[in-house]
């Protein structure tokens, strides 16, 4: 087991198989030492985590949805690295989209679910630049979608 996967196991996380794309796109593209991972939607145990922040979903549940997105991002990264996730140098950037009402302003607190998890799992390599933005709706009604850029060796 890799060093990163051992740390994830210590946190009670096993990376799932990388989700297949749902439309006409690829799950990741590597350019040089950067891997750009397509947006990962909030899913847990094969179930979509749906609903709108500021309406039917609490900030805490939104943060859990963001954490689930981060786990899927790492699964895609592992696939991009031919199974060797220890090639990760650092998380460079996250862009988080939060399905929220027009008056909801806690998008950063929601995306903290992903950011906090990545730092907990990866230490300093998990620290990243980030955007957290509102979306009037997201695919399939999910609560959160996050895309990422990773640096690899």
Q: What DSSP character marks residue 29?
A: E
* Cβ-based neighbour number of residue 43 at 10 Å: 19
Alpha-carbon gap, residue 77 to 83, rounded angstroms: 8
Q: What is the pTM of this model?
A: 0.97
Whether residue 112 is predicted with pLDDT greater than 80 in this model: the reply is yes
- Name the β-bridge partners of 146: 40, 96
In 3D, which of 144, 147, 145 has the Cα closest to residue 128?
147
User: Residues 6 or more apart from 36 whose CB is under 8 A from it?
Assistant: 28, 29, 30, 147, 148, 149
Token pair of 81 as six digits: 């690295």
What is the structure's pLDDT at 87?
98
Mean pLDDT of the chain: 97
Whether residue 132 is predicted with pLDDT greater than 80 in this model: the reply is yes
Whether residue 1 is predicted with pLDDT greater than 80 in this model: the reply is no
Show the DSSP H helices in the chain as ranges: 3-10, 59-80, 107-122
Class of CATH domain 3-152: alpha beta
Alpha-carbon gap, residue 30 to 40, rounded angstroms: 17
Alpha-carbon gap, residue 134 to 120, rounded angstroms: 25
What is the structure's pLDDT at 138?
98
| Residue-wise pLDDT tens digits, 41-51 | 999 888 999 99
| Residue-wise pLDDT tens digits, 72-100 | 999 999 999 999 999 999 999 999 999 99
Helix axis angle, 107-122 relative to 59-80, nearest 10°? 50
């Amino acid at each position: 087991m890799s060093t990163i996967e051992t740390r994830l196991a210590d946190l009670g996380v096993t990376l799932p198989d990388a989700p297949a794309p749902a439309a006409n796109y690829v799950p990741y593209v590597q350019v040089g030492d950067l891997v750009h991972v397509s947006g990962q939607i909030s899913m847990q145990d094969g179930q979509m985590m749906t609903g709108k922040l500021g309406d039917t979903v609490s900030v805490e549940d939104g943060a859990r949805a963001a954490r689930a997105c981060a786990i899927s991002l790492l699964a895609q990264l592992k696939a991009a690295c031919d199974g060797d996730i220890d090639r990760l140098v650092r998380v460079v950037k996250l862009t988080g989209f939060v399905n929220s009402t027009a008056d909801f302003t806690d998008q950063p607190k929601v995306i903290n679910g992903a950011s906090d998890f990545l730092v907990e799992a990866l230490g300093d390599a998990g620290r990243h630049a980030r955007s957290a933005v509102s979306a009037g709706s997201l695919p399939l009604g999910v609560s959160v979608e996050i895309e990422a850029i990773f640096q690899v060796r």
